[in-house]
Structure 1
Amino acid sequence: MVFKAEDIVYTMRKQGIEPNVVTYTTLMQGMFQLGRISAAGELWRKMLALGQVPNLVTCSILLDGYRRGGKIEEALKVLRAMQYSGLKLNIISYTILIDVLCKAGRIEVAKEVFGELSVNASYHQSSISKCFISAVDCLPLAFSDADGGNAGEASPVPS
């Protein structure tokens, strides 16, 4: 039986256990897996309101969940929150980010992000190759005439 996330948090508090970032992250991931995107977003907002500080895993789950759910603008909001907080991306986050940017039509920004990743020597070549595959998926968008030939002139992610 799947409990409502709110019920789990309530039960924990009732037993004197304060939910932390791991609790909220796990619940958000479950909500995304169940297709309950709005519920995952509510948990994110509640977590922030309670002063919980999201970590890279939390943000990656949010980015990926919103991406898979087609909520690209929500994913970009998470990205802006990550930028604001100074949270550093890992290879998984970079791959998700490139895909999100492509789906948002921000091809030039996606290429810039990939370029930054390519010059960062701390990533193993096979990891960069996996990210490159995600970037290659953007190519049809980059050469699309659907928007009058301006696909490659997408605006950057607002800070």
Structure 2
Amino acid sequence: MNAHASVIDGVKVSLLDPEREARLRAALPAGVRLYTGDDLDYPSLIKDGSDALLGVFDAIAPAASAALAALDRDETVEYEAILDRTLPLARKLFEPPTYHYKTGLVFLAWLAGHQDAFVMVGGAQSARSVLHLTDVFRLADQAGLLPDPDLAVRRMRSFLTTTGVL
């Protein structure tokens, strides 16, 4: 990497170990960026200098945008307050088996009105339990990430009715 730093934009890692990531970032050649994929510790990693390529940004885009704007203004307290509200949702979305995080992202997109149905290729919408998706709804609401709360509640009721909960 040192020999070719001029043609390397950066490296992406998902270490899930903030201290180890910080050491790796510090060891990179000048001008080579570290793109974090750590969907569980991103607020501190971004604040400390990692760039981000995060799956969770799909779910938290409005909050991430506001937080990054605050960070650009050196308003770290506001930055942390915004992103810290998103961490419980991120941790729920990416809990094991992590591969099924996409189910939660699609569920949130449907609740937000970005798609007409909560359906995924190969029936992947069933990869997470009703309880898991109920927690996703609750945590997204607590983080202020549902752009139309009335629509989200209507769709959540419909989902719970369809699954036999209501």
Same fold (TM over 0.5): no
TM-score after normalising by structure 1? 0.35
Structure with greater strand percent: 2
Which structure's relative contact order is higher, taking Cα pairs within 8 Å and 6+ residues apart? 1
Structure with greater helix percent: 1
